[in-house]
A and B are shown apart, each in its own frame.
Chain A
């Protein structure tokens, strides 16, 4: 009995590191997110399913007879929106709410590294997006009898699209201090993705200058990589799309990491 009572109470001074600890913390954080979002995730999945299927079916009402191209573009664009919903649209608002109600500081005080927190959140975003994406594609195939052909490239396309979107949302949520501003920017982004980016319709249907602006934004490239993996034939600009998406993902992750690394 050489330890004094005071020594027992002193917290461990070292941060636990190593892959084993990382993995453990990751699993715990995924469970944390799933548990804290459980009600939301159920509702969100339903909303996602309805919205995805709704968009796929609803677009045909815009036309007296919908051309196959239009149907194909919407059906392969809706998966991108499904993948972005949790990470880019819901995520920043959740962080904004956490800031408003005070649980933000609490979450940051937890002994997990920034990479664990980010990867756990990314996993949750994928879980929230992929099922809706599959259902929307199946419905689209049944409704329009499209020439879809899923290639193995769907795996990197989905992973990178969701990653870039989640990191963008992560950066918005963490790097912008004002919850109100976060909400506004998020809603603006939703509007852009639906209407002002060539996600749901071909690039040729928007003014040339707007297409050029979109080259610098990630959404056009997300649609390119996802569409390339879902349709047959060769696709131009897939390589550059992957590069642009990677740059966006890395820059956003760095911004979020920097914001999280600063002590408030």
Chain B
């Protein structure tokens, strides 16, 4: 018993080469999801409650700004509500979490773990998508109840919500990774939400915007999120749904590209 004495005493063999392969990636994803969930577990109920209140709250408060909520306004507010609930998760909560992780040092720790970084990113995506969904569903239900709007949901809705959630989270994550300073991230996300919630044609028709401003929104993701979700909830109101899906896909690609670029770089 002379050979392998060190290993025998240590009780394990240190892995000297990188592990890879689909099986390892899936196993990493599973353990990263457990890790991520374990980190946020105590906050999950509160996050879901806040997220739900915010979504439902926004659906209600837009109505307060109008002297008379006409049928068209009610329809726009109701069908814009799920979009309003999705945006803060992707563009504020996720970048905020990453910023906190950077400040605490957890971010570097996670990167040092021997799991593929793409699995780490995928785990974050899935977790935040799960957080985002209850709030947007409830926002829709509350708005439909408050404004007494009749909706005709179609199977398109599921695709639309998933694409929107994925887009918001991918872009938010890409942004959080691409901006090095957590403080800058904080300022950018807060400014962004303010601009989005006030200046985006989500709960009102794009025709109310000046023409140049409307054309800016055709390229930005927020208006297009509202379009695809509205298309899934109503029939015959929105046009150019396919274009909106293409724009959203392009933004998702850009967010994923930014994530991949930062994640793949050595520091």
Contacts and interface: CB of A to CB of B under 8 A. Distances in A.
Interface of A: 43, 47, 50-51, 54-55, 58-59, 61-64, 67, 69-70, 184, 191, 194-196, 200-202, 205-206
B216 interface: no
Contacts of A61: 198-199, 201, 204, 208-209
Nearest to B146: A207
Interface of B: 46, 50, 54, 57-58, 60-62, 64-67, 187, 191, 194-195, 198-199, 201, 203-204, 207-209
B199 A62 contact: no
Contact of A206 (B54, B57, B64): B64
Contacts of B191: 47, 50
A195 B64 contact: yes
A62 B204 contact: yes
Contact of B67 (A47, A64, A70, A200): A70
A29 B54 CA distance: 38
Given A201-B64, A205-B65, A205-B66, A63 B57 contact: no
Q: Which 5 A-B pairs have the closest CB atoms?
A: A195-B61, A58-B198, A206-B64, A201-B65, A205-B64
Contacts of A62: 62, 65-66, 203-204, 208
Given A61-B204, A64-B208, A205-B66, A54 B61 contact: no
A70 B65 CA distance: 8
Contacts of B201: 61
A47 B61 CA distance: 23
Given A61-B208, A191-B57, A54 B65 contact: no
Contacts of B208: 61-64
Given A47-B191, A61-B199, A195-B57, A205 B209 contact: no
